[in-house]
């Protein structure tokens, strides 16, 4: 219990015994109910751990208990995992290890109770909540849309340290445990049952009855046995070595060795079946102690906090939830519009996709049906769910049938007069409170709203391509956009599974503005004779998911050139871009979509998708400089710090409200390395003074100083200088 002194004390800490209570609904049965009064959703904080220990003291003394059911305050409310405050505050390895051992011992006490134990859980059951359930003899999960169960710790730069790396492989086998833990996946109920993570599903209203019957032996719930696989796979050193080698290879390909947590978890899981539980738990605690104090953990926890805070954007000033968006119209069935409409049909409700081109509509609908069918075949969607999602998308060749829409989003040509004309037509046929959202990436939301009735309902809703994969959505607040519109739009983005960030209505908004200097520096370096392979490698080594030249090809050089011109017009010489991309576009080289940009592209014989090939000779011919002598370190910093300097300016100019939101946007919107925690967190970890000094060095380089506006690009803004002084 002394370990509790090292855990953060929550505000309004309840009296001992208030968080966990023992009920005796019938003879021989005890119900251990976790229902802390000081939190809406329980976490394993100091009061809960204290009261769990007190409850176990009482249960260990009882002599008449034959069965125990562990549950939460409601059938779909259990425990939301570990206390993030406690994880974030850990800086000492020995203390972190002891806290891990303390949690393990509590759960071991549950496992050692001399009665049949059943976990009756529902809603979110992540991390420690699942590890507590694994200490029971059976797990019954409420079959409800909110129910998700699994071990997501690797997403926070740590690993399951309260028995998860030991008990899960014993329950489901090493291969399935590796798949769950390394991916940090949270499983929906039926998928959890198929994979053996739980033993039974039932309706929420039947959860306690079914769990009690199983605990008392009135109803059977046999756990799926591994059978011969236990000996042929889980306890076979040769088979385990092969599994470990394959998993490690796949892991390295995904993480590039940047994340220690999955690799440590892999070692523990593979060794678990051949290791006594007590020894395995000791190893698990030591690994967790080391990881929990590391920089990667702190960065990922910071991002987790940011993404959780983003959910509050859907609330109004009085704390109430904004009205939901249920019926949606999308104007424009191109790549973006079609994908957005499909996502709405999958996640939110009915959507009407409008476009003058029947071919574009048919293509968008076919792509939607293809995604739905793929999800059905992978058992992500049940057949009835797939049919419903397919039916929710309807198409039309005119802007009609939108009278009942809660939100209409346009994704038409990036021309101000076109967007204004579309919205003028839409506004005449929708309710006065219907939101008009634009997916523009470069035009002013205020300019689009000018002249429209009720401009307070016009908002930017900027998705990134590919729509289904990119987690960020920029909500652009125009001059007259109302708080209610912002909150309702944020709720809509969250319902789509996206993370919203509210940004000011400035050229490039946030992500594209920050990307501009970074991408242009890559082109300038190429022009000055730096090999494309070195440029790409510098970005990948820094931790970005794709090299800048390939990214330009992916986006399209024509689109990139248009965006660059907008940024230059708005911000002057600092944003003046190289003419090389425009020259390639004029020669017909638009990037991946045209078969060549900085690189060449050809269809893959198997998949038919465009595959990157050699450097495009036309790009080489347009490089104007000779071979530039530049160290790898300077090369990396010219790319990274051009981005960081612009990000700091965005914070200084209040394009985004906080460092946390800026960091979240740079990671989720442009792939800034998650292990760094975002652009401003990178400045803090590297040292703001060091960054300011390095920017001055870059600005003084001859090949930079001689370029119009380049020195301004590498000037440290006052926000950075303030950080350096601090």
Start-end of H helices in 587-678:
617-621, 632-652, 659-670
Residue among 490, 397, 399 at smallest CA distance from 437:
490
Cα–Cα distance between 513 and 383 in angstroms, integer? 43
Cα–Cα distance between 691 and 684 in angstroms, integer? 9
DSSP letters spanning 431-468: -TT-EEEE--SSS-HHHHHTTSSSGGGEEEEEE-SSTT
Nearest-5° angle of CA 361, CA 349, CA 380?
Answer: 90
CB 685 within 8 A of CB 677: yes
Cα–Cα distance between 164 and 148 in angstroms, integer? 16
Q: Which of 462, 468, 589, 654 is catalytic?
A: 462
Cα–Cα distance between 307 and 164 in angstroms, integer? 25
Q: φ and ψ at 12, to 5 degrees?
A: 70, 45
Is 384 annotated as catalytic? no
Cα–Cα distance between 204 and 122 in angstroms, integer? 7
DSSP-derived 3-state class of residue 668: helix
Cα–Cα distance between 715 and 62 in angstroms, integer? 70
117 bridge partner residues? 68
Nearest-5° angle of CA 134, CA 140, CA 144?
Answer: 120
CB 589 within 8 A of CB 557: yes
Cα–Cα distance between 128 and 102 in angstroms, integer? 13
Cα–Cα distance between 532 and 536 in angstroms, integer? 6
CB 448 within 8 A of CB 416: yes
Look at the chain and count its residues.
726
Cα–Cα distance between 206 and 570 in angstroms, integer? 61
514 Cβ neighbours under 8 A, 6+ residues apart: 508, 643, 646, 647, 650, 666, 670, 679
DSSP-derived 3-state class of residue 115: coil
Q: φ and ψ at 432, to 5 degrees?
A: -65, -25
Region at 331 (left for phi over 0; alpha for psi -120 to 50; beta for the rest): beta
- Kindly tell me the sign of the dihedral angle through the C-alpha atoms of 642, 646, 652, 657: negative
Residue given tokens 């380049």 in the structure block = 710
Cα–Cα distance between 342 and 443 in angstroms, integer? 24
- Kindly tell me the sign of the dihedral angle through the C-alpha atoms of 643, 646, 651, 652: positive
Cα–Cα distance between 599 and 586 in angstroms, integer? 16
469 Cβ neighbours under 8 A, 6+ residues apart: none
**Residue 279 burial (10 A CB sphere; 0-12, 13-18, 19+):** exposed
**Residue 456 burial (10 A CB sphere; 0-12, 13-18, 19+):** middle
**Residue 8 burial (10 A CB sphere; 0-12, 13-18, 19+):** middle
Q: What is the 3-state secondary structure (H, E, C) of 460-484?
A: EEEECCCCCCCCEEEEEECCCCCHH
DSSP-derived 3-state class of residue 118: strand
Residue 473 token pair? 């959505």
Residue 472 token pair? 């960020």
Residues designated as active site: 462
């Amino acid at each position: 219990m002394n370990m509790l002194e090292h855990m953060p004390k929550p505000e309004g800490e309840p009296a001992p015994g208030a968080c966990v209570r023992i009920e005796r609904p019938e003879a021989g049965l005890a119900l251990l109910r976790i229902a802390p009064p000081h939190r809406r959703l329980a976490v394993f904080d100091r009061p809960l751990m204290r009261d769990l220990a007190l409850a176990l003291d009482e249960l260990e003394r009882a002599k008449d208990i034959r069965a125990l059911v562990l549950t939460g305050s409601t059938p779909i409310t259990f425990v939301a995992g570990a206390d993030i405050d406690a994880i974030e505050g850990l800086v000492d390895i020995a203390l972190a290890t002891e806290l891990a051992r303390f949690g393990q011992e509590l759960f071991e006490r549950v496992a050692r109770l001399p009665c049949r134990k059943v976990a009756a859980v529902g809603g979110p059951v992540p991390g420690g909540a699942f590890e507590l359930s694994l200490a029971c003899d059976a797990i019954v999960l409420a079959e409800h849309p909110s129910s998700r169960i699994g071990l997501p710790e690797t997403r926070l730069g740590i690993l399951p340290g309260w028995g998860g790396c030991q008990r899960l492989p014993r329950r489901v086998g090493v291969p399935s445990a590796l798949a769950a833990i390394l991916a940090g996946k949270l499983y929906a109920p039926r998928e959890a049952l198929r994979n053996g993570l739980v033993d039974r599903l039932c309706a929420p209203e039947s959860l306690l009855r079914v769990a009690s019957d199983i605990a008392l032996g009135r109803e059977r719930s046999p756990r799926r046995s591994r059978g011969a696989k236990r000996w042929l796979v889980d306890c076979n050193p040769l088979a385990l070595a092969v599994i470990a080698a394959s998993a490690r290879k796949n892991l390295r390909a995904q993480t590039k060795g940047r994340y220690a947590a999955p690799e440590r978890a892999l070692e523990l899981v593979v060794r678990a079946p051949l290791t006594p539980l007590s020894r395995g738990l000791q190893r698990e605690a030591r690994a967790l102690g080391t990881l929990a104090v590391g920089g990667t953990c702190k960065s990922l926890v910071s991002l987790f906090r940011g993404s959780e805070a983003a959910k509050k954007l859907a609330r109004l000033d009085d704390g109430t939830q904004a009205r939901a968006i249920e019926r949606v119209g999308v104007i424009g069935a191109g790549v973006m519009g079609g994908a957005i409409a499909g996502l709405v049909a999958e996640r939110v409700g009915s959507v009407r996709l409008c476009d003058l081109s029947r071919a574009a509509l048919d293509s968008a609908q076919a792509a939607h049906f293809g995604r739905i069918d793929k999800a059905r075949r992978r058992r992500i969607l049940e057949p009835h769910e797939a049919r419903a999602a397919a039916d929710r998308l309807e198409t039309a060749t005119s802007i009609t049938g939108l009278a009942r829409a809660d939100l209409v989003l346009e994704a038409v040509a990036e021309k101000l007069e076109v967007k204004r004309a579309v919205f003028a037509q839409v506004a005449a046929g929708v309710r006065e409170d219907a939101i008009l959202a634009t997916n523009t990436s470069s035009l002013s939301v205020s300019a689009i709203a000018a002249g429209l009735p009720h401009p307070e309902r016009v908002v930017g809703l900027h998705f990134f391509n590919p729509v289904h994969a990119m987690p960020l959505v920029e909500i652009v607040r125009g001059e007259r956009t109302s708080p209610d519109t912002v909150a309702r739009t944020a709720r809509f983005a969250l319902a789509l599974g996206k993370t919203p960030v509210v940004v000011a209505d400035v050229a490039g908004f946030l992500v594209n503005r920050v990307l501009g200097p970074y991408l242009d520096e890559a082109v300038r370096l190429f022009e000055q004779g730096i090999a494309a392979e070195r440029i790409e490698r510098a970005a990948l080594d820094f931790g970005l998911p794709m090299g800048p030249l390939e990214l330009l090809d992916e986006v399209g050089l024509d689109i990139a050139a248009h965006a660059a011109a907008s940024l230059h017009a708005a911000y002057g010489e600092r944003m003046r871009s190289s003419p090389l991309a425009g020259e390639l576009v004029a020669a017909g080289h638009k990037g991946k979509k045209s078969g060549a940009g900085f690189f060449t592209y050809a269809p893959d014989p198997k998949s038919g998708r465009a595959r990157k090939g050699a450097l495009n000779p036309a790009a080489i011919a347009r490089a104007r400089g000779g071979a530039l002598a530049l160290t790898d370190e300077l090369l990396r910093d010219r790319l990274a710090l051009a981005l960081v300097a612009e990000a700091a300016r965005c914070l200084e100019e209040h394009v985004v409200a906080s460092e946390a939101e800026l960091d979240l946007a740079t990671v989720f919107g442009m792939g800034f390395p998650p292990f760094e925690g975002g652009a401003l967190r990178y400045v803090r970890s590297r040292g703001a003074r060091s960054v300011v000094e390095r920017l001055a060095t870059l600005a003084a380089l001859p090949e930079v100083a001689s370029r119009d506006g380049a020195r301004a690009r590498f000037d440290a803004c006052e926000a950075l200088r303030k950080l350096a002084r601090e």
